[in-house]
Amino acid sequence: MAKQIRRMPPRNIAIDYLANCPELVDEMARLSWKEWQEIYQQREQTLEHSLKNYRDRMNTDRLPLTLVALHRGELVGMVSLKFHDMDTRPDLDPWLGGLLVLPEWRNRGVGTMLMHRATKEARRLNVPRLYLWTHLAEKLYHKLGWQVVERTNYFGKEAVIMQFDLSGQ
C-alpha cells in the first residue's frame, strides 16, 4: 500500500484581520466576484456588492469579519464570518462563507488554517454555532468536524448545509 504524503502547511503564512489590511479590499472583491460570479448574478448583485461586503467585514470585535491568509504580505486566501448567507434559510445564522484559497496555494493546508482560525474567532465572539453551505467541499468540511444539516437545491445545483457546534468546546 502506497504511503500517502501529507503536505505540511507553509510555515510562513500569517492570518490577519481584513481590518488590518484595508488595501486588500479591492483585490478580494475581484477574486470573490470571479470565483462566485454566477451566484452573485443569480442574487442580482454586482462587483460593487462584493466591494461593499468586504468593506462591511472590516471588524475585529464583532461579526461580520473577514480573515486573510498572507504569504510575505501577499494575499493567498480568505474566509468570512457573516450573516444571512443563504436566503432560503434565514433561520440559520451566522455563517462561515467565502472561503477562497488562490489556485497556486490550494492543497497546501491554507484553507484548513483559515477554517481553524475562523472557528477560533467565532468562539472568541461567543458564537454558539456556525453554518456554511457548499456545492463542492463537503468532504473537506466534514474532515474538519462540520456536520450535515440538510441537502438542498441552491441556485440550480445540489448543495449541502453544514453546522459546527462551538458551545461545547
pLDDT in tens, 42-89: 778 888 888 999 999 999 999 999 999 999 999 999 999 999 889 899
**pLDDT tens digits for 148-161?**
999 999 888 899 99
Domain ranges of the chain: 13-126
CA nearest to 51, candidates 27, 76, 17, 19:
27
Cell triple for 101: 484559497
Structural domain 13-126, CATH architecture: 3-Layer(aba) Sandwich (3.40)
The Cα 134–Cα 160 span in angstroms is 6
Task: Locate all alpha helices (DSSP H) within the chain, ordered by sequence.
Answer: 25-35, 37-42, 47-56, 110-124, 138-143
| Three cell numbers written together for 122 | 467565532
